[in-house]
Chain A
Amino acid sequence: MPRAKYDAIIIGLGAAGSVVTEALSGAGWKVLALEEGPWYSPFRDYPDERAVRTPTGLTYEPGSLRPSMVKCVGGSMLFFAGVFFRLHESDFATRTRAGCGTDWPISYKELEPFYNKVEIFSGASGSNKNVFEVPRGAYPNPAHPVSRGAQLFARGARTLGYHPASTPMSIISRPYRGRPSCTYCARCGEGCMVGDKSSPEMTYIPAAVKNGADIRAGYKVLTIETNAAGRATGVVYKDAEGVKQRADSDLVMLCGSALLNPTLLRRSRGPAHHDGLGARSAMVGRNLMCHNGGRYMARFPEVVNGYMGISGGINVQDFYEGAPGGDFHRGYTLYVSLLPPPAEFVGYLERDRWGGRLMDVMGSYNRIIRLAVVGEDQARPENMVYPDPEATDENGFPRPRVRFKRTVNELNMFEHAVASSRSICRAGGADDWENHYISSGSAHPLGTCRMGDDPDKSVVDRWGACHDVPGLYICDGSVFPTSGAVNPSLTIMALAARTADHLISRRSG
């Protein structure tokens, strides 16, 4: 029996894969979307925490930061907090403007229509009064109410002359397109069964199913196939029963994440690609970026219930482009993030971990707020994902191995972020108790298949097309040339929408 031929095969159904699958199937294309992880049922799996982060099979070098991602339909966004920032205009030209990083081959203006498109589809909530963002129209939904802790943070920032702003969220603040608004149950991190968080399994995936996309969960792609001319021809995958199968298409779109794409590309050798796909620039797997992340906690004299509601609240981006006298490149965003429940929160209190001192802090738990620091990470070729020389997976393929070391640049930036968080919170009324930590992991892996105009220095072009493999597109956080200093979900989705739009227009044109 002849194998089915598809107009497009999508690998991975996270932030990018979901958007692409919806767009192409909506244009009438015959789309096959393969996701290695499970497809959770929100009402069955989210309330009882049955939606779990399945093992990714990654290994890490000793001393390496431990970035991670989630394999499932919806990807890491299933567990994300809903923070939905755009990159700033300057992020697309850091080399030109700040002498560091790499300029993107596209500008903010080129991506802007796709930011709008994704925000409208998702129902983003926010205020357009952030002076650091490019002037823009209204959000589809108004900004969320903010907690008392966020208000105190904003008061402190204002006192010091900074410019606090509402944090844009993917979480809908009023009923939108058949989905109810947020109930502020604080369970964003377990999967939002209400559907207001707008993670793809609640938005793009149902639309793609309606469009007729063939979505298969539990299917692992083993290799991307190419012909003698070097062109992508399809994929070999293992189905949910473990049977090896093949699917054909002239268009393969890799949306598997910055952590998993490199090893799949490297093991997909073909007659014209002896070293794997995209190997020409030797950039596959390199320039891994993870954001310079951490948390700062402060305590106020009044009850602020920092664990209630949603993350985001108020943000401060006065240090986004850097700080006068700061010994680091570019800068960071601060925003109020949810305080974890007591049993988890206590794990962060290294210095006060037992006895009376511990109980003093825990007794003031509902007077504490937690800030998130998201700092720009400078790409370095030494930070990378590569095939593990020893550990193999169940198919005998080398596991992806991560090497990521922070530099003095990131440590200096975090130190500055702690100092500015401290001064803002104390200006807002916080007492002298504080706690902070730089993250040992990251949910924002970026950059291992960077985008660029020069095929000798980048893996994909401005549209996400692999320079040396016709028919192969890469479309997720791995194509970011620089990280910016905001959560990347919206930009990943906007890039995916832009690539899909390009493919559709090219075909119809």
Chain B
Amino acid sequence: MRRRSFIQAAVAAAAATTMTGRGAFAAESEFESRLLALAAVIVPGSEPGTWRNSAVASALLAEIGDPGRRERRERYRAALEQLNRATDDRAGESFFALAGERQAGVLKKLIESDEEFGKKIGKEFAAMREDVLRVYFSSGAGMKFTGYRETTQFVGYPEFFQLAETWE
């Protein structure tokens, strides 16, 4: 039964790919890699690979891929394309082809100095930033980076309080 389900799912996936076309699949993949590239600019990873094939990257893609938020995904896609074009206009290169530090510099300049750009994608950038920050700082990697240790009921006193004295 399980095997049959697997085969059915595999056939359906293959059919879907064919029906929607390889172009659509590629576009989707490009959107995701652009989003992750932007995430790496917003949260420069303290560890290599933070935004590639990691639990954080998967969490962000799952968040953006929520079928109930398809409209938002399309807005983000358009905003990332705008960002790419604006960079091309100014630097003659694709935003996503730039090195990380240059990406951050270009983005900062665009946000601060280009009113038209700000109007077009400023709001979307802010929303993407919110998503990226929330996902990253809720993740194990984000907690490790900040030094945050989650405590729960019944695990005993946090060391900090166990050692503290009543203050008078």
Contacts and interface: CB of A to CB of B under 8 A. Distances in A.
Interface in A143-162: 143-148, 150-151, 154
Chain B interface category by residue count: 35 or more
Contacts of B164: 145-148, 151
Contact of B41 (A127, A354, A365): A354
Contacts of A184: 151, 157-158, 161
A282 interface: no
Contacts of A228: none
B61 interface: no
B158 A309 contact: yes
A269 interface: no
B115 interface: no
A345 to B, nearest CB: 8
Given A129-B168, A148-B164, A309-B161, A366 B104 contact: no
Given A147-B160, A314-B167, A341 B151 contact: no
Contacts of B142: 342-343
Interface stretch (A186-194, A377-385, A404-412, A455-463): A186-194
- Is chain A's interface secondary structure helix, strand, loop, or mixed overall? loop
Nearest to A341: B148
B151 A186 contact: yes
B139 to A, nearest CB: 9
Contact of B146 (A146, A354, A365): A365
B129 A305 contact: no
B143 A144 contact: no
Interface string B134-160: 100110001101111111111111101
23 contacts: A129-B168, A145-B164, A151-B167, A183-B153, A184-B161, A185-B152, A186-B151, A307-B148, A308-B161, A342-B143, A343-B137, A343-B142, A346-B133, A347-B130, A354-B41, A354-B129, A355-B42, A358-B133, A359-B46, A362-B145, A362-B146, A366-B146, A366-B148
> 5 tightest CB-CB pairs across the interface, nearest first?
A145-B164, A365-B146, A366-B147, A342-B137, A343-B137
Given A129-B168, A146-B164, A366-B148, 11 more contacts: A142-B166, A147-B160, A305-B160, A308-B149, A308-B158, A354-B133, A356-B44, A358-B43, A362-B146, A363-B145, A365-B146
